[in-house]
Structure 1
Amino acid sequence: MNSRKTFALIDLSAYMQNLHYLSRKASPAKLMVVVKADAYGHGAVELSRAARDIGIEQLAVAFLEEGIKIREGGVDLPILILNYVDRHEIPIARKFGLTPTLCSFGQLEEIVDLEVSLPDFHIVVDTGMRRLGMEWEDSLRLYESAISKGIRITGAYTHFATADEKESDFVSEQQDSFDRFLAGLGKKTFGGFKTHISNSAGTIFLDNSRYDYVRTGIASYGLQPSIIADNNLKPILEWKTCISYLKEIHAGYSVSYGRTFLANHDMLVATIPVGYADGYSRLLSNKGYVIIAGKRCRVLGRVCMDQFVVDVSHIERKLSVGDEVVIIGSQEGERITAEEIADLCGTINYEVVCSISSRVPRIYRKGEN
C-alpha cells in the first residue's frame, strides 16, 4: 500500500553503469563497493545483489548489523566492517563471515582473550583522518603483535581526508605514510593481502595502480564526490510524491507554523504529503523547490513533519489532487538534484540521500541505458 503516492525510485541499471565506469577508472585496482547506511539510503541488500551480479568482489559496511542484514539477504561476497565491533560480537562477525577492522593495541588485547575462533581482520592506519587507527609506525607494531598472537590480518587501509580537493597536497602526505606502513610489512603478509586507500573522489582523481582496491560509495550512486563534477556519473535515485490538496489563498494569508510566509497577492497553493519525518529537511522552509507540471514550485512557510506547501500559481495547466510531484529527479526537462538540495541546506549530498527515511518506500527497476 502507498496511500500518498510517495516513493524513491532506484534505477539498478544506472547503478550498474556507474560501477562499470568506476571500475574502469580504478583499474587495475578493483572496486570495494561501500553499502553502509543502507547503501546511503538506496537499499543495501538490493544494491549489494546488483553489485554481485555484475562481478563486484568485495563490499564494505560501517557496522556489524549492516553486514548481517546483507548476509541474510543472500549475498555471500566478502564484507569489510569499517568501524568498531565490540569484543563480545567478534564471534558473531566470524559466524556471518564478516571481516572486522583492527585499530588499537587495546582492541587486540580484548580479542586475544576470547576463547573462540576469530575472523580475519583488516588493519586501519591513521594517516590524517584522526578517527580510527594509529600512525603508521604504531600500526606496524600492532600488525606484528597481532600476527605473533595468531590473528590473521588479510588487508590494510587508510582513508583520505581531502581527496575531493583535486590538487590537495595532503593526499600525497597520506599516501606516503600508508606506503611507509606497507613497505614496513615487507613479505610478512598473508596471501591475498588487500590494500586500499581511495574513496570515491580518490577513485576518480587519483592513480590507484599501487593498491588492490578502491572504496567507492557516493559516486556509485551517481552523486558527485567533489565540487568538480564528473558527468559520467548518473544519479540512480528519484524521489516522487503527489499533490494532496489544492487551494486558493488571499493576500495577507499566512502559511504553516510560525507564519513565516505571508502572501502579498492571491495565490494557488498545493499541499505535498511529505515532511521532515520523511527526510525532507526543515531547512528547506521558504527556500526549497519541487517540480510540478515541468515547473519549479517554491516551498512556502515551514516544512512540517508530514506535509509542506508550495506555490503553483504560475502553472498554466489545470492541476488535480494526485498529480506527480518530483522532489529529486527530472520532469519535462526540469531537474532537481541532491547536490542542489544540499546547497540549500548548507550540507552535502551524502546527508540528503541518507536522510530519506524508511517511511518512503524504495522501488527498484532496471531502466534503459
Structure 2
Amino acid sequence: MFATSEIELDQTALANNLNYIRKVIGKDVRLSSVVKGNAYGHGIFEFVPMAETLGVDHFSVFSADEALEVTNISMHRSQVMVMGFVDNAELEWAVLNEVEFFVFELDRLEKAIEMARKVGKKARIHLEFETGLNRTGFIKTDLVRAVEFLKKNLDHFELMGDCTHYAGAESIANYVRVKNQIKKFNKMDKWLRSTGLEPLVKHTACSAAAISYPKSRMEMVRIGILQYGFWPSKETFIDCIKHVSSREDPLRRVMKWKSKVMDVKEVNTGEFIGYGTTFMASENMKIATVPVGYSHGYARSLSNQGRVLIRGKRLAVVGIVNMNLLIVDVSECPGAEKGDEVVLIGDQGDNSISVSSFGELSDQLNYELLTRLPRNIPRTVIANETLTNQIPTNGLSKA
C-alpha cells in the first residue's frame, strides 16, 4: 500500500546545521539534541540514529515515554534527559536505565531517592530553578529544603546539572525578562555550589537563547528547532546574520514533505471549487487534487492561502482544505498530470516551501505545524555515505 504522502530526512542538511551550531556555541559547550514532539515531527526513530551517526550523544525529551523511544532506538547508548513529565511510577524505570530527569518539586525528588535506594542505583537528576517563567522549577525556599534533603542522601543521586528555561528568548519583547532570568539563575547556581553540591553542568539555553544571548550557553545547550533547519523566529535569524557580511540562511531544512497529484480536471469560469462558496473560478482553470488534508497535518486554515510546488512552480491552494485532500490551481502549469510530485515542505527546482511560510499564512508557529505531522506518515533518511564513513560517533556533541 502507498501512503498519501511521505517525509524525507536529509542527513547532509543535518550535518550542515550541527556544524553551524557547534561554531556558534564553541568547542567547550556540549550540545543536547532536543527530540521532543516526535523529534519536531521528523520522527524519533529515524532522527536519533541519524544524529548519532553525526556525533550527537545526548538527547533531551519531554516525557518518559519519549525517553523510552530514544533508548530503544539509540545505537550508542546516548544519554537521555527528560525535561518534563515523569510519573512517580516511572521513576524506577528511569533510575534503572540511567535516564536523567529534571527535578522541580519535592515530591518527585523524594520518590526518586526512594527508587534509587530500592534498585541500588543512583538517580541522575537535574535541579531546575524557577527564574521568571513561572512554570516549573524550585523557588529559593523550596530549593533550600531540596538541598537539605539531598545532603542527607548523598549516596543515592548524581547531580548531573542545574538548569532553567527562558520566557520567550525568541522575541526582543522579552529581552529584559530573559536578562533578569540569566542573572537570577547564576545567583541560584552560585548559592547551590556554596552548599557543597556541585552540578556537573549548568544549562539554560534553548535554540533562541543560544543565538541571541551568548551568556546563556554556559556548559550545555538544548537545541531543538535549529538543528532541523528552522529558526525560532525572524528576530533570531536577524540576530544571527547581523554581524556577518553574508545575509544567506546558514541552515538547511532537514525535512522534505511531499505527495503526488491524484487527479487533474478543468473548471469553467463562474464555478465554485470544493466545499461551500469560498472560491469561485474567475476564469477557466485547471486544478489538481492532492491526497493530503488536515488529518495529515496540513492545516484547514491554509484554505485559499497555502502554496505547494509542482514541476518547480509555486502554486496556490484553492478552496477549503478537506480532511483528506486539498486542491491546487495548476493553470500556470498546463503539463501537470496525475502522479506529479507535490512538495508541501521543502525544495523543488529553484523554489522552496518553508515552514515559516506556513506560519505566516496560518498563524501557526514552526513548532506547531511540525509537531502536528502524524506519526504514520512514512519517513525515510537520505543518508550520505561520505558523512557516515568520516564522522566519528563519540564525543562530537562537545565539539
TM-score by length of 2: 0.86
Partners in 1 of 2:24 and 2:17 — Cα distance? Answer: 11
Partners in 2 of 1:257 and 1:155 — Cα distance? Answer: 54
Which residue is 1:19 aligned to? 18
User: Which of residues 144, 160, 163 is equivalent to 2:148?
Assistant: 144
SS in 2 for 1:254: coil
- Deviation per CA, 1:10-51: give whole Å up to 9, x if none: 101211221121112112211011111111011223322233
Which residue is 1:128 aligned to? 132
SS in 1 for 2:85: coil
- Deviation per CA, 1:208-263: give whole Å up to 9, x if none: 48721000000010101221324211111111111100011112222222232122
Q: Which amino acid aligns with 1:89?
A: E
The answer to whether the 8 A contact 1:154-1:189 is kept is: no
Partners in 2 of 1:222 and 1:326 — Cα distance? Answer: 17
Partners in 2 of 1:136 and 1:50 — Cα distance? Answer: 40
Which residue is 2:373 aligned to? 356
Q: 1:192 to 1:145 in 2, by over 3 A?
A: closer
Q: Which amino acid aligns with 2:109?
A: L
Shift of 1:55: 2.6
Partners in 1 of 2:6 and 2:362 — Cα distance? Answer: 22
Q: Which amino acid aligns with 1:290?
A: V
Q: Which amino acid aligns with 1:21?
A: Y
Shift of 1:165: 2.9
Partners in 1 of 2:190 and 2:286 — Cα distance? Answer: 68
Partners in 1 of 2:345 and 2:34 — Cα distance? Answer: 22
The answer to whether the 8 A contact 1:29-1:208 is kept is: no
Q: 1:144 to 1:49 in 2, by over 3 A?
A: farther
The answer to whether the 8 A contact 2:347-2:353 is kept is: yes
Shift of 1:161: 1.4
The answer to whether the 8 A contact 2:43-2:375 is kept is: no
Shift of 1:145: 2.2
Q: Which amino acid aligns with 2:94?
A: A
Shift of 1:123: 1.1
Task: Say whether 1:254 aligns with 2:272.
Answer: yes
The answer to whether the 8 A contact 1:140-1:184 is kept is: no
SS in 2 for 1:38: helix
Task: Say whether 1:336 aligns with 2:353.
Answer: yes
Which residue is 1:222 aligned to? 229
Which residue is 2:209 aligned to? 202
Shift of 1:173: 0.4
- Deviation per CA, 1:86-118: give whole Å up to 9, x if none: 111100112332112111123334445556235
Shift of 1:183: 0.4
Partners in 2 of 1:210 and 1:296 — Cα distance? Answer: 39
Which residue is 1:157 aligned to? 163
Q: Which amino acid aligns with 1:354?
A: T
Percent of residue pairs bearing the same amino acid type: 30
For structure 2, which runs of at least 5 residues remain unmatched after alignment?
241-248, 388-399
Partners in 1 of 2:53 and 2:312 — Cα distance? Answer: 36
User: Which of residues 280, 296, 314 is equivalent to 1:278?
Assistant: 296
Which residue is 1:55 aligned to? 55
Task: Report the structure, 1 or 2, having the larger helix content.
Answer: 2
Shift of 1:191: 6.4
Shift of 1:360: 1.8
SS in 1 for 2:227: helix
| Structural mapping, 1:1-369, within 5 Å | 1-4=1-4, 6-27=5-26, 28-75=28-75, 76-114=77-115, 116-117=118-119, 119-150=123-154, 151-152=156-157, 153-165=159-171, 168-186=175-193, 188=195, 193-208=200-215, 211-228=218-235, 229=237, 230=240, 231-316=249-334, 318-366=335-383
- Deviation per CA, 1:111-154: give whole Å up to 9, x if none: 45556235211111111221111334533442332342345232
Which residue is 2:394 aligned to? none
SS in 2 for 1:283: helix
Per mean C-alpha deviation after superposition, the further-off stretch among 318-327 and 352-361 is 352-361
Per mean C-alpha deviation after superposition, the further-off stretch among 161-170 and 271-280 is 161-170
Q: 1:136 to 1:257 in 2, by over 3 A?
A: farther
Q: 1:140 to 1:179 in 2, by over 3 A?
A: farther
SS in 1 for 2:170: coil
Shift of 1:73: 1.1
Shift of 1:297: 1.4
Q: 1:210 to 1:320 in 2, by over 3 A?
A: closer
Per mean C-alpha deviation after superposition, the further-off stretch among 137-146 and 327-336 is 137-146
**Displaced runs of 4 or more, over 3 A:** 109-115, 187-192
